[in-house]
Each structure stands twice: as structure tokens, then as C-alpha cells.
Structure 1
Amino acid sequence: MSSVKSRREMYADATRAAILQAATELFAERGYRGASLEDVAAQANVTRGAVYHHFSGKQALFEEVVETVEEEAMQEVLAAADASDPWDAGLQAVAAYLDKCCEPQYGRLVWIEGPAALGWQKWRECEEKYAYDVTQRFIARLVEAGYLSAESSLRTTSQFVFWMLGGAGLRLAETPEEDKPRLRDEWAALMLEALSALRVD
């Protein structure tokens, strides 16, 4: 069977990508409630029916937007953590994550609109699927390298760090643009203190 996509499949993929891009921009700019499917269709230059062909409704579209944004963000964090030493790589990951949370689009979609539009449970599931998974991978490397104690469970330590990162993300998302660089550095310093206190070497 040929793996080459047909022209119709390529058109469908392009249409779906255009819808997602338009929805990402509009949800970030106007919020979940302020952006309608008609707005998304108009910005993507497709019909409302085309939107419904790819997504069952507004919430399903928003959920896909948040998952896409989170997946891309975690890929950026992993790419930034390129140090060979696990401790240095972990600090690079924290820095990259805090930088990401300063971006208006990411901050609003994930931290402001996400919990309200998706509901607490579904939003938590999304965060655990992406951000928590990445956090746990870094903590596991630090335990394996001897930087962190293995006495506390991997899950407990990962959750502790995960919720610190979440607190930083929410605070930065709520902060006016002009104050974000200062607050980002304050959170970075506090997180370094907390992580350093956990070191056992």
C-alpha cells in the first residue's frame, strides 16, 4: 500500500492546520468565550462546516489547541536542556519553561483559559500528559545521577517540582508584560534555592 498522501488528504491536513492556527490566535487574543467558530472559520478562510468536519465543537477545538501548544512547548524545553550533566540540563529546562510562560499566547491559553474552558479535571489530565511527564523524566535522571535522594518516591518529588512550575506559570500568565522579566527572574532564583535544598551530593 502506498504511503504517499492523496491530494484530498493533503488538502484536509492543510485545512485542519489552518483551523488550528486560526483558533490558537483567536483563543489567545479574545479568550475562549470571546472567539466563536464563525470567527475561526473566517480567519482560516474555510467554511463553518469545514471546522465541524475536523472538530466536533468549540471545546474539542480548544482542547486540541491546548494540547498542541503544550506539546510544542515541552519539545522546546527538552531541546533547550542540552547539557550533558543532568543537573545543568534540569536548570536549563526550568529556565526554558519560565521563558515560555512569559509568552502571552502560551500563558493565556494554558493557564488562564485552559482550566475554565476545559474544566479542572480535563485540564489537569492535559498538564500531566505533557508537563508532568517531562518533569518526571528530569527528576528520574537527577535521582539516577545521585543529585536527588531516592528515599522520597519519584512521584512525590516530581509532583513537588511540577506544582512549583505550575505556580510560576500561573503567576507569570497573570502578570503585566512589563513586570514579567523581573518576576521570571525571581521565580528562577526561588526554584534554584528549592532544588538546591533537595540535593544530596
Structure 2
Amino acid sequence: MSSPKSRRELYSEATRAALLETATRMFAADGFTKTSLDDIATATQVTRGAVYHHFANKTALFVAVIEAQEQVVVDRAVADALAADGEWAAAMAALDAYLDSCCDPVYGRLCWIEAPIALGYSEWLEWEADHTLGLVEKFVVSLIDAGVIGPTPVGIGSRMVFHLMGGAGSAIAGAPEDSRTQVRQECGLVIKAMVSGLRIDRS
């Protein structure tokens, strides 16, 4: 049985959570470049030293923010997949959950617009692959094992779907607010039509 956390530990956790909440709001509203650690510290009502106690620099804080955002999206996609009937329906439910999440102005801006700026394109792409490519691969393997799609090179197949989803995320997040839903629907139609070509039974 673990011992109860000290008041200092609880305060530290609360401070970190408050910093993440403030940083999420400010990065989404003003962007990574225009938001400073001093801005975040002031808005959170903590010292700059308190920020550095938890995060080495602004980039580290930003990474923590987008990690939290991605985890919410992944959890939602997995939950919707588990509630679906059949492997294909599960994969499509996960895709729909992801595309819907890209319409969210906070997630969309942070992970698809600000992240490439904050991390650099190559590092951001690698980061995204580390966080989502494995999940895409699991869906591809499950569809092959269930006989829903024919023999497919798992590695390249998963990466192609991953890049399709990335293109959709960028398109949706970058669309004007009044057309974002339409772009999301169009992305869903195109991706589903493309991956449906792998199905053995296309009925």
C-alpha cells in the first residue's frame, strides 16, 4: 500500500496541472511563438522558477500540452472502436472520432498548426508517428487477421493511412471555421473510399 502524498507533493501536482491548463489555453489562443513562459507564469499566478521546476523550457511545456491533447483523442478513438460491431466498423469509428477531434479548435490548432512550428516539421512528424502510428498499425493488423482486407504490407500500409490521416488533420485544422465541418466530411469520404479499396468484400 502506497503512503499518502505529502502536502508539498499535492501542491506540486496542482501547480503542474494549472500550468498545463493555462498553457493549453494561451498556446491555442495566441500561438507558440507569441506566448512566453513569463506570460504563462503570470497567468497561472506562479513564479518563473515554478515553471522551470516542472518544465525545462517552453518547448517542453508545449510537448506536455500536446501529449495531453493526443491522449484524449486516442482514448476517444479507442472507446468508439470498442463500441462498434465488427473490425471494419471499429476502424471506421476510430477514424470518425479522430476526424471529429480535428474540428476542435484547441486540438486542431495545437497539434496541426502550432506543433510543426514549435518542434520543427521533421521532429513533429516523428513525434506524431510515435504517438499514433502504432495504433493505426493495430487496426490494419486486426483487419488483415479478420479477413476484411487482403494481404497487405503492414508497415507501408499503416504509414500510408497515417499520412492520409495527417493530411486530413492539417486540412481540417487549417480550414476557416465556417467550412471546417464540410472539410471534415470531405476528408472522411476520401479516406474511406481509398482504404475501402483494400477490402476483400466491398459490399
Task: Specify the TM-score bucket, using the shorter chain as the normaliser.
Answer: over 0.9
Within 5 Å, give how 1:7-156 maps onto structure 2.
7-81=7-81, 82-150=83-151, 152-156=152-156
Cα distance in 2 for partners of 1:190, 1:94 equals 12
Verify the 8 A CA contact 1:83 1:89 in the aligned structure 2: yes
Question: 1:2 Cα shift?
Answer: 3.4
Deviation at 1:102, TM superposition (A): 0.6
Is 1:27–1:109's contact at 8 Å kept on the other side of the alignment? yes
User: Match of 2:199?
Assistant: 199
TM-score (norm 2): 0.94
CA distance in structure 2 between the aligned counterparts of 1:67 and 1:3, rounded to whole angstroms: 28
CA–CA distance in structure 1, aligned partners of residues 34 and 55 of structure 2: 18
- Looking at structure 2, the residues matched to 190 and 170 of structure 1 have their Cα atoms a distance apart, in angstroms, of 15
Contact 1:67 1:126 in 2 (8 A): no
Matched, 1:180 2:180: yes
How many residues align structurally?
Answer: 200
| Equivalence for 1:4 | 4
Q: Post-superposition, which runs of at least 4 consecutive aligned residues in structure 1 deviate over 6 A?
A: none
Q: Give the TM-score taking structure 1 as reference length.
A: 0.95
Q: 2:161 maps to which residue? A: 161
Could you tell me which runs of 5 or more consecutive residues in structure 1 were left unpaired when the two chains were aligned. Answer: none
In structure 2, stretches of 5+ residues that fail to align are: none
Structure 1 vs Structure 2 CA RMSD? 1.3
Give the CA deviation at 1:90.
0.6
